[in-house]
Structure 1
Amino acid sequence: MNKRKLSILSVALPFVIAVILAACGNEKNRTGNEAEAAAAAGSPDLSKVTLKVGQTGWGNLEAGFKEAGLDDTPYKVEFSVFQGGNLQLEAMAGDHLDIALTSEIPPIFASQAVDGGNLQIIAIQKSDTLEQELVIPKGSTVRQVSDLKGKKVAYVKSTTAHYFLVKMLEEAGLSWSDIEPVALSTSDGLSALIGGSVDALASYGNAIISAHQNGATTLASAKDILSGNFPVITTKADIADPAKHAAIADFLNRLNQYNEWIHNNQKKWAEIVAENTKQPLEQALETLKNSQEQRPTKVTAISDEAIASQQDVADTLQSVGLLTKKVDVKSLWSDAFSQMIK
């Protein structure tokens, strides 16, 4: 969408959101109903809204919104970068974040908090499952996952890395207790692998890219283990706030425009990625092309299939003792924005 269309959208947004919200009287989430009633009474003033948005990576959303001409929002946006979705949800629980972009796993663990983590999954960002790997350092004698029995394996707690490591061990006939798991951040895990203090690393994104640049090899890939569902999460209070509600709805649609811009401008985006992640342009472009071929990123409304997928993940984590009790993930989901996602 060009800037002229975005300008028209910004002007028309309050009225459109008010009409849509008024039509959504059958929403399951009560806080969403409060927002609808307030919005129907009058257009919310988005100029006074600041959306605090979290992400895992290097700050690609801020750079991408600017490059795609999507940064002319009728509200303020503050982007923050975290090393994992679990850290985003910790910030959200402390009321320091309005939107978090995570995998299926962090909300499950966050839901174990006293207040249920104060979160609601409002959309799914379908994306690729590449660069999610179990890697071994250069010179390792490990040849298969079963060789990790009794060895130190670093992983990022309460993330996709935590989950896919469990699944890889199961497939190799090992249990969680058969290894010496070492919970580390993405950067500390990478340092531990390169420094030789762990025998393998389960991680994702830039940590995997850097690991390969330092001679690491892939022991197992999670590309066929993970669903590719990455929840978009907000708080119950933000759903109930008419202005925040409207701003989030607009942001979700801009997020889809950003994803579409990347799909249509792959070389340009690869140049930006390469510059920010200090990797060769050819490698960044190849990674991007592979991800777009596997599954172009797109924001979608919540669905029964997505909820069932996350429930399966939760049940798996419980079956190996990583969750102390059964989690009904359905309570974490809200369809308050489903009719607004274009």
Structure 2
Amino acid sequence: MIKHPRGTVVAALAVVLALAAGCSEEQAATKLELTAALPDQVPSGTVLRLGDPQIQAIVGASGLDKELSNVTIEWANISGGPQSIQAFRADKLDCSAVADIPSLFAAWTGTATKIVFQSVTVDPLEHPIYKLGVAPGVSVTSLADLRGKKIAYSAGQAQGALVLRVLQKAGLSQKDVQLVELTSTGDSYVTALGSKAVDVAPIGAQNIKLYETKYPGASSIFTGIRDDASTLYCLTSAVEDANKAAALKAYIAVRTKALLWANDHPAEYAKAYYQDTQGLSEADAKAVVEIGGTKAIPANWDAAVTRLQETADLLATEQNHDKLDVTTLVDRRFEKVQAAAAGDKVVTGDAA
């Protein structure tokens, strides 16, 4: 055994400590304050775990994936509140595409998230996300007819919030109807209507034709309520990671361009997502895209935040949640990123 002089051992120990300190400083430097500017440079090898299947298909079809060469994206076939919150809690996902409700329920259930993207629908009342499906043999031709009806209801999903807003518009309370707790997954609401387990349920507008064809005597009505909220929300810890924040900045710009590309290439969009990944026929895929209308990027998020606050206040009252300041859930640093990417195609006024 070779014996090292004491001085050599001390020197070696000093080097080890210095390297350890350097590593600690490097790790600390990756923490980004929520008030700090978003980094421009994406370190090579940065990974984003995204549940954004529609945009995944569009990015691939449009060639926009080339603009994300410095970002390693691990795509997950996840979207919507229940799945995304579960994945967040298991630390399996950074961000997910959802409506506006999941961010509220994440906050109410102790999962810290930030909204980093907002889009809207042009002429939202003419292109609703949902219509109210009515079970065969049940007479509902107006919102007033909902009194006494069994209505499918999922508290933590956009459909649940829509039901409460519909009741509010109709001048009805929860006591005036029978809310049937039922999570909306796949065609669960369609099946519940078809079997007459419920009288009424919010159904995605693209599924209404299928529902009415499958069940003779089925019908549907418009809600007359704006329901086009569409966001990308992320774990706060992901946004606080400097490397991921830089990658998100790049992704939000590409995501913006992807939505606008889909507007200009509806046939390619229909094929890339609804045909190739959802298994719809060419005709049905085309119909779904037409029903969905044109998506747009708002010049700012003021109107979206106001609507989110109104929804949060309604849910706090109707579902006995704590009052919530929704500005704490929105990372408006990304507002300028998507507006810049959209350029002169941003929208203002009622559409936003």
The answer to whether the aligner puts 1:324 opposite 2:321 as a matched pair is yes
Partner of 2:33: 31
The answer to whether the aligner puts 1:76 opposite 2:72 as a matched pair is yes
Instruction: Quickly say closer, same or farther: Cα 1:131–1:175, change in 2 above 3 A.
Output: same
1:208 & 1:118 partners in 2: Cα distance? 35
2:64 & 2:257 partners in 1: Cα distance? 8
The alignment partner of 1:32 has SS state of coil
1:238 & 1:227 partners in 2: Cα distance? 28
Partner of 1:170: 168
| Unaligned residue ranges in structure 2 (runs of 5+) | 1-30, 342-352
The answer to whether the aligner puts 1:289 opposite 2:287 as a matched pair is no
User: 1:200-279 maps to which residues of 2 (within 5 A)?
Assistant: 200-204=200-204, 207-208=207-208, 210-215=210-215, 217-222=218-223, 224-226=224-226, 228-272=228-272, 273-274=274-275, 276-279=277-280
Instruction: Quickly say closer, same or farther: Cα 1:30–1:113, change in 2 above 3 A.
Output: farther
Give the residue type in structure 2 aligned to 1:332.
L
1:81 & 1:54 partners in 2: Cα distance? 6
Instruction: Quickly say closer, same or farther: Cα 1:239–1:35, change in 2 above 3 A.
Output: farther
- The TM-score normalised by the length of structure 2 is 0.74
Partner of 1:53: 50
Instruction: Quickly say closer, same or farther: Cα 1:171–1:97, change in 2 above 3 A.
Output: same
Partner of 1:88: 84
CA shift, 1:307, in A, is: 1.4
2:90 & 2:36 partners in 1: Cα distance? 23
The answer to whether the aligner puts 1:336 opposite 2:339 as a matched pair is no
The alignment partner of 1:198 has SS state of coil
CA shift, 1:244, in A, is: 0.6
Give the residue type in structure 2 aligned to 1:186.
T
**How many equivalent pairs are there?**
299
2:269 & 2:190 partners in 1: Cα distance? 25
Instruction: Quickly say closer, same or farther: Cα 1:201–1:160, change in 2 above 3 A.
Output: same
CA shift, 1:208, in A, is: 4.2
The answer to whether the aligner puts 1:186 opposite 2:188 as a matched pair is no
CA shift, 1:280, in A, is: 4.7
CA root-mean-square deviation: 2.9
Partner of 2:157: 159
CA shift, 1:102, in A, is: 1.5
The alignment partner of 1:31 has SS state of coil
Partner of 1:64: 58
Instruction: Quickly say closer, same or farther: Cα 1:124–1:99, change in 2 above 3 A.
Output: same
Partner of 1:24: none
Q: Percent identity?
A: 21
Q: 1:140 aligns with which of 129, 138, 141?
A: 138
1:274 & 1:134 partners in 2: Cα distance? 25
Partner of 1:14: none
| Unaligned residue ranges in structure 1 (runs of 5+) | 1-28
2:32 & 2:64 partners in 1: Cα distance? 31
The alignment partner of 2:197 has SS state of coil
Partner of 1:306: 304
1:288 & 1:316 partners in 2: Cα distance? 31
Runs of 4+ off more than 6 Å: none
Partner of 1:107: 103
Give the residue type in structure 1 aligned to 2:306.
A
Instruction: Quickly say closer, same or farther: Cα 1:155–1:206, change in 2 above 3 A.
Output: farther
Give the residue type in structure 2 aligned to 1:243.
N
The alignment partner of 1:138 has SS state of coil
CA shift, 1:323, in A, is: 3.5
Instruction: Quickly say closer, same or farther: Cα 1:99–1:302, change in 2 above 3 A.
Output: farther
Give the residue type in structure 2 aligned to 1:62.
Q
Contact 1:133–1:218 (CA under 8 A) maintained in structure 2:
no
Instruction: Quickly say closer, same or farther: Cα 1:51–1:302, change in 2 above 3 A.
Output: farther
Instruction: Quickly say closer, same or farther: Cα 1:246–1:262, change in 2 above 3 A.
Output: same
Instruction: Quickly say closer, same or farther: Cα 1:32–1:50, change in 2 above 3 A.
Output: same
CA shift, 1:255, in A, is: 0.9
Contact 1:314–1:327 (CA under 8 A) maintained in structure 2:
yes
